[in-house]
A and B are shown apart, each in its own frame.
Chain A
Amino acid sequence: MITGQQGRGLSFCLAACVGGLFLVSLWHGESSIAGMQALEDILAGRATAGAIILEQLRLPRALLGILVGGVLGLSGATLQGYMRNPLADPGILGVSGGAALGAVCVFYTGLMQISLVALPLGGLIGAFAAVALLMLLVGDGGVLVLLLAGAALSGFTAALTALTLNLVPSPYASFEIMHWLMGSLTDRTFTDVAICLPGAVLGNALMLTTGRALDALTLGEEVATSMGFVLTGWRGVQLLVVLGTALAVGSCVAVSGAIGFVGLVVPHVLRGLTGYQPSRLLWPSFWGGAALLLVADNVVRMTASGPELQLGVLTALVGSPVFFHRVLKLRKDGV
């Protein structure tokens, strides 16, 4: 039996890991800088090379690592709890697809040349448009309608993204698009953090309010409803889950591109440690996702000689074997 204290202990340990990895991300990089000196320079307002690298490059990148990883982990845990389906991941709603399509449209139309902010903003607009469409499609429908609507939206946005890629006149542009779609935190700035932060914070807050309802849902929808939880409609848990994950994931994909497997694998790995109770999985999944993404980003930066490995590629490479292991364990133990 996992008690609340143990659950909080796990969150605390993972948060401490994230703290350590955050410091590693700040101190470690391609150009070696004297960390303490750079920090002193920042505090004293001196624009030295070290201060600029630390403040303008590494700090936003590390912050985005925590934010994006945390959002992916938390939304994976929330969706898996709500759908009672361990295969649910943030991409299932089609909102990541919407964000990717929005960003690809910015590439295609050349709006990137006007402002660097155009790309994440395009992603954000695409994500929000997808959220609106998803809500309209789902209406008062339940989990099955949500799954189908998400699948339809994912398929549609993927088709439109492929169409855009198909129509792109320059091979360089399509290369850039492909590269962006693989997901990365390289060269992100505080503008990206500012674009991502409001949606991520609001979405996370909405998701974190659903814990008790997710626990009740382990007994089935009818029992959860009989215990006083409203599931569908404007005051329902489904709205909190959809709006929360969509806002948070959409905002993150808009700045980082699509980073797969974090939302799928992190809740899977941590579930056993939280006593299989969905409410206890939420915070640990946030910190676990953040830790995984920071580790992956550090690995990407370590292998920076030659063509830089894209973050989404690495998480998929690491995530899939973990998932294979889970599949084999499921076959053996039924858990």
Chain B
Amino acid sequence: MTSLHASDVSLSLGGRQILRSVTMPVQSGAVLGLIGPNGAGKSSLLRVLAGLRAPDSGHLQLNNQNLATAPAHWRARQIAFMPQEVVRPPPMSVRHVAALGRLAHGESGSVAFHHPKVTEALEKTGLLQSADRPAHRLSGGELARLALCRMLCVDAPILLADEPVAALDPAHALMVMSLFQQAAHQEGKAVVVVLHDLALAARFCDQLVLMQDGAVRAHGVPEQVLAEPLVRDVYQVTTRRIGAIPVPWDLCP
């Protein structure tokens, strides 16, 4: 069982407080959705969880190890990260770019290229047919799936993804979220995804963390966190329920 725990984490950038005493456990076998309005600190929290940015205060514990002092190569095998902005890769093949994920294990060249995890990840993300296509010619949605594929190639027990479905059409967004759910429920991975789509958050996440002004406003199962008064207060929108799923409907008067 892998566990990642943030306790009392605070961060400020350029004199502005980005995170305020955030405490949050990340558990294996579950998808945790980070939601909240723009500028709430979701991406910053994800970077802190990934060990990419050291917090000003607070503590991050990864499997009983302090994340701040853990060796970078060990951390890289425990946590796979997908950033919000996917960099357009050079004109290598899709499989080639995916195989770069194996660098986290110190593998490169043909060992990485022919690794079974790479083929598996290409298949899962629907890119196996495009494996030989040049990656720089992919559409925005395909690039996002390639970034996800690269992350899956790391084969880490913790997956952190920053808005992984922002560039995707509904069908591919559902496919990607199903993949995360499958990774959590069937493979026992701990998954944290930053989402703006409340419907997807309600449908696929086991737990939601609602952030506002750098602090955790609510943490719990989707039904609790997406309750009308809370969403109205944090997002300044009214919602309507379509089935069990709340859909933002109008700006608050």
- The interface of chain A, by Cβ under 8 A from chain B, is 1, 3-4, 212, 215-216, 218-220, 222-223, 225-230, 275-277, 279, 334-335
Contact = CB atoms under 8 A, between A and B. Distances in A.
Interface stretch (B3-11, B14-22, B72-80): B72-80
A226 B79 contact: yes
B110 A4 contact: yes
B92 A277 contact: yes
Given A219-B97, A229-B72, A229-B103, 8 more contacts: A1-B113, A4-B110, A218-B90, A220-B83, A220-B85, A226-B76, A226-B104, A228-B75
Interface in B94-132: 95-97, 100-101, 103-104, 106, 108-110, 113, 132
A215 B47 CA distance: 21
Given A219-B87, A219-B97, A279-B108, A226 B132 contact: no
Q: Which of B74, B80, B82, B83 has the most CB of A within 10 A?
A: B83
A226 B80 contact: yes
Contact of B81 (A218, A222, A229): A222
A277 B134 CA distance: 13
Interface in B39-57: 47, 50-52
30 contacts: A1-B95, A1-B132, A3-B109, A3-B113, A4-B109, A216-B100, A218-B89, A218-B97, A218-B100, A223-B81, A223-B83, A223-B87, A225-B72, A226-B50, A226-B52, A226-B76, A227-B76, A228-B73, A228-B77, A229-B72, A230-B72, A275-B96, A276-B90, A276-B91, A276-B92, A277-B90, A277-B92, A279-B108, A334-B136, A335-B136
Contact of A222 (B83, B91, B110, B154): B83
Given A219-B87, A228-B75, A1 B108 contact: no
B100 A215 contact: yes
B150 interface: yes
Contact of A1 (B47, B73, B96): B96
B236 interface: no
A230 B73 CA distance: 9
B2 interface: no
Contacts of B76: 226-228
B73 to A, nearest CB: 4
A216 B104 CA distance: 9
Contacts of B104: 226-228
Contacts of A334: 136
Contacts of B103: 212, 215-216, 227-229
Contacts of B77: 228
Q: Is the interface of A mostly helix, strand, loop or mixed?
A: loop
B238 interface: no
Contacts of A335: 91, 136
Nearest to B84: A222
Q: Which of B75, B87, B110, B136 has the most CB of A within 10 A?
A: B87
Nearest to B156: A226
B89 to A, nearest CB: 6
A226 B96 contact: no
B96 A219 contact: no
Contacts of A230: 72
B51 to A, nearest CB: 8
A235 to B, nearest CB: 9
A5 to B, nearest CB: 8
| Complex A-B, nearest 7 residue pairs according to Cβ-Cβ distance, in ascending order | A228-B76, A226-B81, A220-B87, A228-B73, A276-B90, A227-B104, A4-B109
Q: Which of A3, A223, A277, A335 has the most CB of B within 10 A?
A: A223
Contacts of A215: 100, 103, 108
A279 B51 CA distance: 26
Contact of B96 (A228, A229, A277): A277
A127 B130 CA distance: 48
B154 A227 contact: yes
A291 to B, nearest CB: 24
Q: Which of A3, A227, A334 has the most CB of B within 10 A?
A: A227
A1 B76 CA distance: 27
A189 B92 CA distance: 44
A299 B154 CA distance: 51
